[in-house]
Amino acid sequence: FMQDPKKTPDVRNNIFVDNVEAGVRSHGRGYAYNLFYKNGGVGACTPEYLWCVRAQFGGYEDEHSFTKSHNIIADPLFRDEKGHDFHLRPGSPAIDAGDPNPAFDDKNFPPSLGKKRNDLGVYGGPHTIAEKRGPNHRPRADAGKDMVVYAGKRVVLDGSKSLDPDGDALTYHWSVVSGPSRNSIRIVGKDKAKASLVVKKPGTYTVQLVVKDRWGLSSKPAKVRIKVPSNRPPKAAISDVISTVSVGDSITLYGSPSSDPDGDKLSYHWRLAFKPSKSNAVLGNANGKECTLQIDADGGYAVELVVSDGKAKSEPAVVYINTKATSSSGIRRVPQDYPTIQSAIDAAQPGDNIVVEKGHYKELISLDKSVNLIGKDWPVIDGGSPNGNRNTISIFYLGDRAGKIEGFVITGGGTGELGHGINIWDSSPEIVNNKITGNHHGIGIHGSESQTGRTKVHGNLIYDNMVGIGNGKDSHAHIYQNKVYDNKVVGIGCRGKAAPIIEHNLIYNNHLGVGVREVSAPVVRGNKIFDNVDGLVVGPLSTVKSFAFDDIVIQGNLIAKNHHIGINITSFNLSKVIITDNVIDSNNLDGRRFRAGGVVLGYPEPGTFSVVVRKNIISNNKGGGIINYLGPEDFQTKGAKIENDLNRLWNNTVDFLDCKKGPGDVVADPGFVSTDPLAKDGYLFKKGPGGPDKVYYQGAGLR
C-alpha cells in the first residue's frame, strides 16, 4: 500500500492471493510482471469484469490497462495453498511469466519450473534459496483414449493428463510408431501437450507419447490407437425447395445432391418427420432419389432424408416447409402445427401469437418480425451453450414495437463474453413472466433511445447467469418488478449512454446488485437491493476522466444487508449523483475496514464529483453512515462535494466520516417494526411514541 500519491514503487515478479483489501494499491502505477488472484474479497473471478480487476489493484485499472504492464489475473495453481505449500504446479500461469530482464534469469535456481524466464512467486529466481531436492521420480505419460475416425479427418491428440509426481514441468514428444505409410504422416505440434495429425488411408495407427521432466528423466511410452475404417459414410443433402407453400400444392424434393466420398451407389430413405395435427399427408416415392409431398393442411412440415451406401448410413438432412396462409385466428401452435419455434416464426404474420406447449426446444431463435411468443407450462428454449457470442433469442432492428415473449425458461446462450439468453438491439419488445437462467448474459438491451424506449422487462425471474440484465449503448428500457438473484457478476448493469428506468425489483445475492458504469445515467428507484456483496456501485468508464453526462438518480430504494457496501460512488465520476429517499441499513455485514458502510463517496481516490444525499434513512451500517473518502491519511484532499440535508442517521459505526452533518440531518432511531427485507412489515415505521406518525413504505425516506 503506497500512501504518497507522488511516489512510484517497483513491485514485480510477485504473486498476490487472498489479500483482504487489494493485492497492490499504489495509485495505478509501479507494478509489473505480477500475478493477482482473489484479492479484495471478490473470490475466484476472471479479468473480463471491471469489478474483479479493480479489486486486485485497490480500485485502479480496467479490463485492458493492467495487461500493459504484463500483470496477470489468474489462479496461480499452488500445490497446496491450504497446507501453505506455495510451489507451483505444472501449467501454472506464473511459470516463465516474470520480468525477462536477464538479471531475473532463474534456470539455475531450482525448484523453478520455468526454462526461459523467471517464475513469479517465491520459488524460482536469483533471490531464491535453493532447496535440497528429494529423489526424482519418473513422470507418467497419458496419450488419451483410443479413437475411430474417418480417412481425411484431423485427429486431435491430447496428452494434457500426463503428470510428474514431483511437480516438474514436462516436455512432450509424439510419434507414429505403426500404421499404413506411417513415415509420411506429419504430426503438428509434436512437442506440445495437444497435437494433431491427418490420416488418409484405412487401417489401424498407433501413436506414442513420451514425456520428460526438467531433469531429462523420461516416462514409459503411452500409446493411443486410431482406427480408420475402409468405408466412409455418405452425406445426405436435399436441393433447395420453396419453403412457403399453399394448401393443395404438390412439391417434389430432390436428394440428388447427396454424395458418397468413396463413390459407392446410394439408396434413399425419406421420412415425413413432422406434419400439422390436421394433416393426413404421406410421402410419395419415399425410397427414391426424389419424393413428393401433397400439402393438405396449413402449418409446418419437416421432411428428413437418410442415404446409405450399404455399409453405413448418413446423418439425416432435414428441410422445413411452411404454408403461407394467414392464420384466421392469429394463433400458430408448436408443436401441434409447426415442428420448431423458428418454423412457426418464419410462417407467421406480424401480430400473430405463437403458442408453444410444454417441452424442451433446442433452438437458436431469430425474431425478425413483430410476433408474440407465448409459452404454456414453462417450455424451455435452450440454445445449447455454443461457443462464441451466440444468442438463444435474437431480437434485432424491429423498431419501437417488437412483440412479446412470455412464459418460457430461456437458457443456453453462447459461452462467449457477448453470449445472451435474449439479445435485444434497436427493438422494443415486452419480456414478461419468464425464467432466464444459465446464460452468460441473461438479457442484453442495446441501441438508440428511439428504438428501445418502449422496451419493457417485468415480472421475470433472472438468476444464475453471469450478468442478469445488461443495458448498453443509448438504450432506454423500463425494467420493473423482476426478481434478479444469484447472478455471478451483476444483477442489473448499465454502461455506454444507457439510461434505463430500474424500479420495484428484488435484487439480491448477486456480486453487484446494480452496477453503473459512466457515462450511463439510470434512474434506480423503489427497488429492494439486499444480500449482495456490493449493493449499488457507480464506477467510471476508465481511469481517465472524460465528460459528464445526465444525472444518476438513486431514489426510494431499500438498500440493506449487503456484505460490503450499500452505495459506492467511485472517484473518477463527473456526473452528478442524486441519492434521495432511500433506506440504507445494516450494510457491511462482513465488517470490512475500507470501502465499506452505508454510502461511500470516492475510493480509491478522493471524489471530484457532486452528490446530493437528501431525505434518506441511514442506519446500522458498520464502518460508517456517510463516508467521504479524502485519500491516505497524510495526503488528503477535499473529496466529493456533498449536499446533504434532511437525512436520519442512527447506530452507524460513525454517522459522518470526513463530512459534516447537513443542516436538516438528525441522529435518531427510525423505529423500524422489522428489518427483514422480504417481510410484509419490513422497514415499516412504528406508530405513536418512539416513532414517526406516518407509516413508512419502502422507498419513502423522511417525509
Listing DSSP states for 295-337 in one string gives --SSSEEEEEEEEE-SS-BPPPEEEEEEE-PPPTTSEEEETTT
Q: In the prediction, which pLDDT does 673 show?
A: 82
Residue 303's beta-bridge partner residues? Answer: 272, 319
Burial of 425-453, coded b for 16+ CB within 10 Å and e otherwise, reads: bbbbbbbbbbbbbbbbbbbbbbbeeebbb
Residue 353's beta-bridge partner residues? Answer: 331, 372
Dihedral sign of CA atoms 58, 59, 64, 68 in order: negative
Mapped to the 3 state alphabet, what secondary structure does 242-282 carry? CCEECCCCEEEEECCCCECCCCCCCEEEEEEEECCCCCCCC
Helix (H, G, I), strand (E, B) or coil at 701: coil
> What is the phi-psi region of residue 533: left when phi exceeds 0, alpha when psi lies from -120 to 50, beta otherwise?
alpha
Angle (nearest 5°) at CA 579 between 689 and 652 = 50
Mean pLDDT within 235-242: 90
**CATH 2.60.40.10 applies to domain 244-323:** yes
CA distances from 43 to 19, 114, 489, 504, 595 (A): 10, 27, 11, 29, 17
CA–CA distance, 655 with 274 (Å, rounded to integer): 69
CA–CA distance, 668 with 444 (Å, rounded to integer): 43
pLDDT averaged over the chain?
A: 88
Task: Check if the beta carbon of residue 573 is closer than 8 Å to that of residue 600.
Answer: no
Mean pLDDT within 229-245: 88
Q: In the prediction, which pLDDT does 645 show?
A: 93
Cα–Cα nearest to 609, from 559, 651, 574: 574
Task: Check if the beta carbon of residue 196 is closer than 8 Å to that of residue 157.
Answer: yes
**In this predicted model, what pLDDT tens digit does every residue of 550-567 receive, in sequence order?**
788 999 999 999 999 999
Overall pTM > 0.85: no
Task: Check if the beta carbon of residue 273 is closer than 8 Å to that of residue 323.
Answer: no
pLDDT at 693 over 90: no
Mapped to the 3 state alphabet, what secondary structure does 591-606 carry? CCCCCCEEEEECCCCC
Instruction: Kindly state the percentage of the chain with pLDDT values over 90.
Output: 62
Q: In the prediction, which pLDDT does 694 show?
A: 41
pLDDT at 574 over 70: no
pLDDT at 658 over 80: yes
Q: Can you give the residue ranges of every domain in the chain?
A: 147-228, 244-323, 511-703
Helix (H, G, I), strand (E, B) or coil at 170: coil
CA–CA distance, 312 with 231 (Å, rounded to integer): 8
**CATH 2.60.40.10 applies to domain 147-228:** yes
Q: In the prediction, which pLDDT does 129 show?
A: 54
Instruction: Kindly state the percentage of the chain with pLDDT values over 70.
Output: 90
pLDDT class of 138 with cuts at 50, 70, 90: very high
pLDDT class of 695 with cuts at 50, 70, 90: very low
Three cell numbers at 338? 409447426
Task: Check if the beta carbon of residue 468 is closer than 8 Å to that of residue 444.
Answer: no
Task: Check if the beta carbon of residue 313 is closer than 8 Å to that of residue 289.
Answer: no
Q: Do domains 147-228 and 244-323 have the same CATH topology?
A: yes
Strands 147-148 and 222-228: parallel
Burial of 161-171, coded b for 16+ CB within 10 Å and e otherwise, reads: ebbbebbbbbb
pLDDT at 247 over 50: yes
**In this predicted model, what pLDDT tens digit does every residue of 95-110 receive, in sequence order?**
878 888 766 565 545 5
Residues 6+ apart with CB under 8 A from 243: 319, 320, 321, 322, 346
CA distances from 619 to 389, 669, 700 (A): 43, 8, 15
Q: In the prediction, which pLDDT does 680 show?
A: 75
Burial of 11-28, coded b for 16+ CB within 10 Å and e otherwise, reads: bbbbbbbebebbbbbbbb
> Per mean pLDDT, which range of 174-188, 494-508, 535-549, 574-588 is the poorest?
535-549
> Per mean pLDDT, which range of 69-78, 394-403, 424-433, 688-697 is the poorest?
688-697
